[in-house]
Amino acid sequence: SFDVAMIFVGSMVNRYGDFNTEIENAIILRYLQKEHSKPSALNIFNQLLPKNISGTPSTIQNYNWDPSLSLEPAANKELAKNRISGSTKNTTNKENNIFSKLNSSLPMPISTPIPLTPANLPKQEELPAQRSSAFSMIMVLGKNKTKGAQSLLLNGPQFGWFAPSYLYSVGLHGAGFDLVGNTPFAYPAILFGHNADIAWGSTWGGGDLIDIYAEKLHPQNKEKYLFQGSYVNLEKRALSIKVKNRNDYRFYTYRSVHGPIIKRSYTRNIAYAKKRSWEGREISTLLHWIESTKAKEYTAWEKSTAHQALNINMFYSDKHGNIGYVFGGKYPVRHANHDNRLPVYNPKHDWLGMQPFESNPSVYNPKNGYLINWNNRPAKGVLNPDVFWFSWSKADRVNFLHKEITSKERFTAEELWQTLEKSSFADPNISYFIPHLQKAMQYTRNKDLHRLAQAIFDWDGARRDSDEQGFYDSPGLAVFQIFMAALVDYSLKDDLGKVAYSFFSATGYATPQHPYSSSINLPVGVKAIIERLENPAGQRYDFFNGEPASLVLLKALQKTWRFGKKKYGSKIQDWQLETVPLLFRTKNFLGIPQNSKNNEVKLPVAMNRGSGNILVVFTKTGVEGYEVIPPGQSGFIASNGKKAKHYADQLSLYKTFQKKRMWLHEQDVSEHTESKQVLYYEIQ
C-alpha cells in the first residue's frame, strides 16, 4: 500500500502540485535590472509575469462567481503602481529594498542538488530548460447545450506521450464500486471515468500552492538558521540509496520550519525552503479522490472534492443533465505585501493560515450551459501561476474551444467529439496576429511582403499533412512560423538582454528532431507581445520601444523574407515546412528509460490533444462511455521482443479520431470478455 501511495504522490503530487520557479523569477528580475533602471526592470517583469490581468477567459463566467470570495491577498502596491508605458515614475523606497534584497541574497547556482558543499557548487549559473507548459483540456455540456443527450463530458488529460502509455483502462465492480474509466499507471483512484449516475474528469489548475522561503544561515554553522530572532537547528535526516555494483550513495536532507531545503548559497548564507500547502494532505487527497468516484449526485461528489489539496480543476456531469466544477486545492492566506512570484525574504511574511474550501471557485449548472477548460484561469480573482513558463492572459488557446462551442446552440455527442479534431490541429497563435497583420499591410507597397502576408491569410490555421509526405499542407504555416520567431526576437531580445531573453524566447513550435513532449500552448513571451498589440495603452513597459505596432510587424516580415528566401527560395509556394511527428517516448517524465528506444512508436503529425481522450454520454436511457488511450492498453514485451496484442492497437484509433466503448454493465462486460483470471487470497 505504501508503494501504491508513493506512485500517486511522486507522479501526481510532486509532478503537478509542486511547480515553482520563484528563484528563477528572481534571477530574471535581477538580470533585467542589469539592463535597465530598477523601475523599468520591474515594469518589464510585471509585463511578462503579471500577478493578475483583466479580461482573461475563465472557466467560470463572472456572472456565476463573486471574486470577493477568493481570499486573494491585497495586491502588492509597490509592484503594481507603474502601469504607464516605459514609466520610471512613482518608484518607492520599498521597491528599491526588493532589489537590494535580491542582489544581496540571490543564489548564483539555481539548480544544484542536495547535499550541497562548497566543492560541488557549479561555477556558473545554469539556465533551466524551457518546460512544457501545456496540459489537459475538457468540455462539459449540460442538458440545455446538448442534442440527444442529457449531458456530455469530453476530457483530454495530458501526461505526455509515452510507450507504454501512462494511462490504462479499468473497470471496478465490487466493494462499493461500479465504474469504468482510465487513470495513470497503478493509481487506485480512477481519475477519468463514470459510473451509472455521474461522470468526472479533470485538468491541471495552475493555482499557486507553493512558496519559497529564504532562511538566513548562521555565519559559522550552516546547519542553523535564523527563526523568530534566534538561530535554531535545521532538521537533518540521513538517507542512503543502494546502487548496483557500487557503494551506497549516502547523503543528508534538511528542513526548516517552512519545509525541505531545496537550494543553498553558502556565499550568501541563505538556504531556500519550499513551503507546500498540500504537505501532509497527500493521502487524504488520494482517498477522497477514490471516494468521489462512488458518488451518485453532485453534493456527495463536491463533498469529496473539498478534501482535494492539489491545484486540480475537477469537473462533473450526471444522468439528469447537471454539470459542475470545483477549483481544487488548499490555498494559503498570504501577507498583503507578499509577492507570490518571488522568494520570501521578510520573516514577517509567513502564511496567515489556509483559505476555507468555500473560497475556491465553483459552479453548479452555469447559466451558459457548459464548462470549458484548457488550463486557463478558473475564475476572476485567482492569482496567476508563479512559474516563468506559464501564465494566464487574454490570449489563450481555450478561446478556440469557446468559439467552437458557441458556434451552435446544441451539440450531439459526435459533434462534440468532432471539435476535438479541429482543436488538435489548430495553431494556437495565428488568430491573434491576423487582424494586426492585415492592418500593417496598408502601410507598405512591398510586393514580397504582401506575398508573405497573403500566404499567411490563405492558410486556414490548421497544422496538417493531408498526403503524409512529410511536409505541412500550407506554405503559410512556414511563413508564419518564421515570422513568429522574427517577431519575438525583434520585440523582446533588446529589452530583456541575453540571459532573461533565454527564458522567454520560445514561440511554441517544436522541430522534427525535437518533437513536442506534450500539447501546444501560447508561450509567455508571445502572450506579452499579444498584450502589447491588443492593449498598448495599458502596458507597464513598451516592448516596441515607441514604434507603431504595424512597423514592428513589417520589420518582422522583412526578416522573414530574408531568412525564408535564403532557405527555401523566392517562390513562396516552395516554402514547405517539415512535419513534426507525434513521438511516444520510452523515457519517462523524469528522463529515466522505461523501455528500450527501439520500441518507440510515433504518428506522422503532432496533435494538440490529451495523452488519451474519454467521452461520457448520458441519455435518458442510460450512459455510454468511450475512450482512446494510445499506443495501447498493454506495455508488455516478451523476452524474445514480441509485443503484446494490445501494445499499440489504439494508435490507428487515435490517429483517425476514433474511439472504443467502455463497458460498464455486467452483461456488456461478459459479452466482450477476451480472457478471465480469478485471483484467490487468504486472510492470515
Separation CA 637–CA 514 (nearest Å): 26
Separation CA 649–CA 655 (nearest Å): 11
CA–chain centroid gap for 482, Å, is: 25
Cis amide prior to 475 (ω within 30 degrees): no
Do 326 and 86 form a contact (C-beta atoms < 8 A)? no
> What nine digits make up the cell of 440?
500593417
Q: Where are the beta strands (DSSP E) in 331-449?
A: 332-333, 353-354, 362-364, 370-373
1 is known as an active-site residue:
no
Dihedral sign, CA of 174, 180, 183, 185? positive
* Residue whose C-alpha is closest to residue 137's, from 518, 407, 413, 664: 518
Do 167 and 11 form a contact (C-beta atoms < 8 A)? no
> What nine digits make up the cell of 188?
487506485
Separation CA 496–CA 506 (nearest Å): 14
DSSP class of residue 119 equals: G
- DSSP states along 56-102: --BSS-GGG--GGGS-PPPP-HHHHS--STT---S--HHHHHHHHHH
Separation CA 312–CA 326 (nearest Å): 9
In sequence order, the β-bridge partners of residue 323 are 317
| Angle of CA points 6, 200, 614, to nearest 5° | 90
Q: Hey, what amino acid is at 419?
A: T
C-alpha distance across the termini of the chain, in Å:
17
Active-site option among 136, 317, 391, 491: 136
Q: Which long-range contacts (CB under 8 A, 24 or more apart) does 126-130 make?
A: 127/499, 127/502, 127/503, 128/21, 128/24, 128/503, 130/389, 130/503, 130/506
Contacting residues for 186 by C-beta, under 8 A, at least 6 apart: 4, 7
Do 631 and 601 form a contact (C-beta atoms < 8 A)? yes
Do 286 and 1 form a contact (C-beta atoms < 8 A)? no
> What nine digits make up the cell of 161?
506521450
> What nine digits make up the cell of 234?
535545521
Do 298 and 322 form a contact (C-beta atoms < 8 A)? yes
Separation CA 398–CA 416 (nearest Å): 15
Element (H, E) at 144: none
Neighbours of 53 (CB within 10 A): 18
Separation CA 566–CA 326 (nearest Å): 52
Separation CA 48–CA 25 (nearest Å): 10
In sequence order, the β-bridge partners of residue 623 are 618
In the block, cell 449540460 appears at 142
Cis amide prior to 515 (ω within 30 degrees): no
**CA Rg value for the chain:** 26
Question: Which residue numbers are catalytic?
Answer: 136
